[in-house]
Structure formats: structure tokens, C-alpha cells
Structure 1
Amino acid sequence: MRWLTELGEFDRVMTQQAASRIPPGVGKVLSAVEETAESTKLWCAAAAAMASWGGWRGRRAAAAGLTALVVAQLISNGLCKQLADRPRPPREWFPHDEVDDRPDSSSFPSGHTAAAVAFTAAVAPTWPAAGAACAVPAAMVALERVQSGAHYPSDVAAGAAIGLATAWLTRRAPRLILRHGI
């Protein structure tokens, strides 16, 4: 399985580059954003703001975002992490001590990224400006997960794919249910 070897090498190179090339000040900002997003606090706060000040569109965007986020969390953390027991990237790849503060659970996939992308991608069709505003911290969370040593880039990519799929499903599910009488 040559592609697995190539993926492993890609993960190693990209992880080491992210860990060593991101300036410490930027790393601190990324960590602060990730801390805010921990336990979905950032996304719940964004949903509350949208629902409070965005009128019907804000409430609809908030509901879609939170629904997609919950489904993404269930799939990434409740299912995928239980099936894939991938270890975190090796400590020696990281020139900083952030690597000491990472979870013990499976590295695959990134649940933080899945939640961030799901929320953002579900909000964007209903309220594009809010979706664009959420895209910035979502991208920062994804980058931080690699830079800090919590995940490989392929874990983050898988989390993003789960997030996009759940956002799509959140938008399509009501129509599919009505069409097929489920």
C-alpha cells in the first residue's frame, strides 16, 4: 500500500513544517482561538449572537449551524475516533511544549475541525456574511490542531470532510425526509 506510505510522509513533512515555521506569537493566537472553540463554546456563542441579533435569518442560521455541529461531533468523536485508534503525532516532531497538552484519544479524525467546519458550512448558505466571519476562526482551529501536535494534516482533512458532509446533510435532510416520507 504505497499510498499509505506516501500519506504518512506527507503528514510528517507538513506537521513538522507547521510546528516549526509558525512564529510563536501566531501560535499563541491560534491556541487562544482553539481554547475558545474548546467544547464548542465559540460556536455556541456565535449561534447565540446570530439568534439574538440576526432576526429570522440569524435564528435559522444558528439552528442549522448547531445541528450540523452536533451531528459532526457524533460522527467524528462518537464513531470515527472509536473505530480508528491512531496515535497522536510523535512528540519529537515539535520544537515547543504545546505538544504536552494534548488529548489521549485517537488522533483520527479532528473533532475540533469537524465541528468548526460543520457549523461554518451550515451557517453560510443561510447567512453568507456570518458564514464568512465564522470561516476565519474555523481555519485557525484547523491550523492550530496541526501546529500544536494534536493532529496530523490528514486528521484535519478528514474532520473537514466530515464537517462539510454533515452541513450538506443538515440542509438536505428535511427535503429528503419529506420527499421519501421517512
Structure 2
Amino acid sequence: MRILAALRDSDHRLTRRMAGWDSAWARRLLPPVEEAAEHTKLWWAAAAAMAAGGGWRGRKAAAAGIAGMAVSELLANGVAKKLVQRHRPPKEWIPHDDVEDRPDSSSFPSGHTAAAVAFTAAVVPSWPRAGAACAVPTVLVAVERVHSGAHYPSDVAAGAAIGIAAATLVRKAPRLLSRCMGRPRVAGG
């Protein structure tokens, strides 16, 4: 129990510290990042750009990213948020106006982070450079979720873990399906 209490206290302390981070850079950059990530607009735009300008590899990466994002949305928002009811960080911990825009749903896990990480991690195997480019806004989304007071750092970490799991499922799904359905055996093989 002491370990859990220490983890919770560290989570709360880090939340207050990140939400209280008063930097002109953060105040200019993070609100537009949040707006772009709302309803996964950022990732749909990235997929469209990849599909339009990346040829076959771009279309494959875009499809993988969208699939990863869809699986993460199901896991984070459709399952995890219903299983774990956690209140958002208290408004008095957040010294700026962003606290008014928080959703009413469970704080755990961060669905925005899950979608961002899933999209990026699913893109990487098909197009590593595009995945690397997506990693920058992915990190900014994760930081913004805590800075705005919408989530605790542990919510963001759980969202990232769900995103990685979703991308892994998308990557391995064709092999898993073929095993489940039984591949026809080739004579002499």
C-alpha cells in the first residue's frame, strides 16, 4: 500500500508541477496542439498527407495509422474509461484558463495520447521517417494533456501503453488471423 500511495503522491506532484509550468512557449504552442488533436483531426490530416504524397508506402502507412488509432479508441475510450472511473485533476491545481475545457469523462486513460501513440507507432514500420515526424506532435499531445489539467501523468502513460498495444495488434493482426483461420498447407512445404 505504501508503494501505491507514493506513486499516487508522485503523480499528483508531477501534475501540479506540469500544469503550473508557465512558459510563453507552452502558452503559445500547446493550445493549438490540443485543438488539432481534438477528435483526432491531426492524425486524419497526417494520414491524408501521407496517402496523397507518399505513393504506395504513404497509403500503407496511412491505413496502418488509421487502423491503430481506431483500435486505440476502442480500447481506451470504449473499454478502459468504462472500467476505471477516475476524476480529473482538481481545478485548483491548474493555474490557467485551460482547466475550463476539460471533458466530463473518466481521466483514466488519456484517449488523446492513446490515439496519438497508436497512429505514430502503427506508421513507423511502413514509413519510419513519417513515423518520426509524427512523434513530435505525439509528444506535444501527451505534454498538453497534463499541462491543461485534463489528465494525470499516469493517465498519459496508460494511454501511451494502450497506443503501443493497439499498433502492435494492427501490425500482427494479419498473421494472427491467418493462424486462427488455418492456412492451407502447400504440398512439399
Asked whether the two chains share a fold, i.e. TM above 0.5, the reply is yes
Matches within 5 A, 1:29-178: 29-178=29-178
Measure the CA separation in 1 of the matches of 2:123 and 2:22.
29
TM-fit CA distance, 1:108: 0.2
Kindly indicate whether the alpha-carbon contact (under 8 Å) linking 2:76 and 2:114 is maintained by their aligned counterparts in 1: yes
The change in CA–CA distance for 1:92 and 1:24 in structure 2 (over 3 A counts) is farther
- 1:6 Cα offset (Å): 1.4
Report the counterpart of residue 17 of structure 2 in structure 1: 17
Matched to 1:144, the amino acid is E
1:6 to 2:12 alignment: no
Question: Could you tell me which amino acid in structure 2 is paired with residue 2 of structure 1?
Answer: R
Amino acid at match of 1:112: H
Structure 1 window deviating more from structure 2 (24-33 vs 137-146): it is 24-33
Who wins on radius of gyration, i.e. which is larger?
2
Which consecutive residues of structure 2, in runs of 5 or more, have no partner in the other structure? 183-189
Q: 2 CA distance for matches of 1:109 and 1:20?
A: 21
Distance in 1 separating the partners of 2:18 and 2:151: 11
Give the percent of matched residue pairs that are identical in Structure 1 and Structure 2.
Answer: 63
What is the match of residue 180 of structure 1? 180
Deviation at 1:22, TM superposition (A): 4.2
TM-superposed CA distance for 1:20, in Å, is 1.7
| Partners of 1:22 and 1:147 within 8 A in 2 | no
How many corresponding residue pairs? 182
Consecutive unaligned residues in structure 1, runs of 5 or more: none
CA distance in 2, matches of 1:48, 1:142: 22
Counterpart contact for 1:119–1:167, Cα < 8 Å: yes
Q: Single out whichever of 152-161 and 98-107 deviates more from structure 2.
A: 98-107
Contact in 1 for aligned 2:118/2:163 (Cα 8 Å): yes
Alpha-carbon contact 2:21-2:147 (below 8 Å) kept = no
What is the TM-score with the length of structure 1 in the denominator? 0.96
Residue identity matched to 2:108 = F
Structure 1 SS opposite 2:20: helix
Partner AA of 1:81 in structure 2: K
Give the letter for the 2:33 counterpart. V
